């Protein structure tokens, strides 16, 4: 049986979306083969939308290395858009393994998703030991002059660590240091690594090394985590525009502790898996 899909992206962070397939359980090898940009379809994440008998659709995510993960912000906007297109309504509700998410139309091909409350306790990230997640005890480079140090840690349904830098993060920094930190022993489930340059109290330049996917054009949960980490340190307010390689996301950490992410979605093409 051929497997149909829809190729979508949010700010260039690209996805293959499979809908309505009962008991969809791809192997690690299948996901890697489909995700390959040399012979496969090519994607950052694979997304499956199905009904598990609950009141809202179940959404699952896999990184292109084959690992199933709990959350994907840009992918969640794409899911919300698809569900709203199918229902003809301006809102949609769906759930992941971690939380219930609500999406709403924010204009033509723009979607706002309530990403829920950030996890801020050390065991919610999770970290391997108890420490203040505003400034965790981690540094990269010489002890007396580290390149990176004391990042913030936030969970958005998946683990993030955010370093604040005083310059535009380079490819070499993001790929070199990001890949090094991803599997640091402090993070038992590995971690997404953000490099945030504060441009103003309402604007952040962000690049992210994504756990299991590498350097992508945008990371929605990473943008949410960076805004929360910056606001906790008083570097920004609770609402900011995030400038990523693929474009801009508006992030609002509301007073009710929910994080709202707003940005564009795009449909590229449909097809069947090779």
My answer on whether 108 and 153 are in the same domain is no
pLDDT score for 208: 97
pLDDT of residue 108: 93
Structural domain harbouring 49: 4-115+264-272
Q: What pLDDT was estimated at residue 55?
A: 77
Task: Tell me the angle at which helices 73-87 and 220-232 cross, rounded to the nearest 10 degrees.
Answer: 120
Residues 12 and 32 grouped into a single domain: yes
Number of folded domains that form the chain: 2
Q: Say which of 8, 41, 72, 231 is annotated catalytic.
A: 72
Q: What is the pLDDT of residue 52?
A: 67
- Both 16 and 109 in a single domain? yes
Residue 161: strand pairing partners: 153, 193
pLDDT value, residue 61: 96
Beta bridge partners of 101: 94
Q: What is the pLDDT of residue 2?
A: 75
Whether residue 130 lies inside any domain: the answer is no
Torsion region of 41: left, alpha or beta (phi above 0 gives left; psi -120 to 50 gives alpha): alpha
Q: Tell me, what's the pLDDT at 53?
A: 64
Question: Is 268 found in the same domain as 235?
Answer: no
Is residue 124 in some structural domain? no
Residue matched to tokens 């990230």: 125
Q: Is 78 a catalytic residue?
A: no
Active site residue 224: no
Q: Specify if 199 maps to a domain.
A: yes
Segment 78-81 long-range contacts (CB within 8 Å, at least 24 positions apart):
78/8, 78/9, 78/10, 78/15, 78/17, 78/47, 78/111, 78/265, 79/17, 79/47, 79/49, 79/103, 80/104, 80/111, 80/113, 81/109, 81/111, 81/265
Tens-place pLDDT, residues 72-118:
999 999 999 999 999 999 999 999 987 899 999 999 999 999 999 99
Q: Does residue 123 lie in a domain region?
A: no
Residue 210 lies in a domain: yes
The CATH number of residue 85's host domain is 3.10.310.10
**Residue 229 counted as domain residue:** yes
132 in a structural domain: no
72 within 8 A of 63, measured Cβ to Cβ: no
Say if 134 falls within a structural domain. Answer: no
Regarding whether 247 and 206 lie in a shared domain, the answer is yes
**Residue 11 sits in the same domain as residue 69:** yes
Residues 61 and 155 in one domain: no
Catalytic residue (choose from 191, 219, 231, 244): 219
C-beta separation of 182 from 140 below 8 A:
no
CA dist., res. 263 & res. 245, Å (int): 14
Q: Which residue has the tokens 């992918």?
A: 75
Tokens 């604007």 belong to 203
pLDDT < 70 stretches in the chain: 1, 52-54
Give the pLDDT of residue 97: 83
């Amino acid at each position: 049986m051929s497997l149909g899909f829809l190729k979508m992206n949010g700010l260039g962070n690209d996805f293959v979306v499979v809908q309505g397939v009962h008991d969809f359980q791809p192997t690690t090898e299948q996901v890697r083969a489909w995700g390959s940009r040399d012979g496969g379809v090519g994607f950052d994440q694979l997304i499956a939308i199905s009904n598990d008998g609950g009141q809202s659709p179940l959404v699952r995510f896999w990184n292109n290395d084959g690992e199933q993960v709990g959350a994907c912000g840009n992918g969640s906007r794409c899911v919300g858009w698809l569900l709203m297109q199918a229902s003809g309504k301006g809102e949609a509700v769906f759930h992941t393994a971690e939380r219930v998410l609500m999406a709403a139309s924010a204009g033509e091909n723009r979607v706002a998703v309530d990403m829920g409350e950030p996890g801020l306790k050390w065991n919610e990230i999770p970290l391997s030991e108890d420490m203040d997640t505003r400034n965790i005890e981690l540094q990269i480079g010489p002890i007396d002059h580290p390149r990176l140090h004391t990042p913030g840690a936030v969970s958005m349904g998946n683990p993030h660590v955010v370093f604040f830098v005083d310059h535009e993060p380079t490819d070499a920094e993001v790929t070199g240091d990001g890949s090094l930190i991803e599997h640091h022993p402090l993070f038992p489930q590995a971690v997404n690594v953000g490099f945030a340059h504060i441009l103003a109290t309402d604007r952040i330049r962000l690049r992210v090394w994504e756990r299991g996917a590498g350097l992508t054009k945008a990371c929605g949960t990473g943008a949410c985590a960076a805004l929360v980490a910056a606001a906790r340190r008083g570097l920004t307010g609770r609402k900011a525009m995030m400038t990523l390689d693929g474009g801009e996301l508006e992030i609002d950490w509301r007073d009710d502790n929910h994080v709202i992410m707003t940005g564009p979605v795009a449909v590229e093409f449909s097809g069947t898996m090779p």
